[in-house]
Structure 1
Amino acid sequence: MHHVDHLVTTRLLPHEYAEEHQLHPAPNTQTDDLRACLDGLPSVLRPHFSQEEESYFSLAP
Structure 2
Amino acid sequence: MNNSLYDMNNAELRQYLSENRNDETAFSQALEVLLSRKKDGFKYPAPQSMTYEEVEAIFKFKLNEDN
TM-score (norm 2): 0.26
Please identify which structure carries the higher helix content. Answer: 1
TM-score (norm 1): 0.28
Instruction: Specify the structure having the higher radius of gyration (Cα).
Output: 1
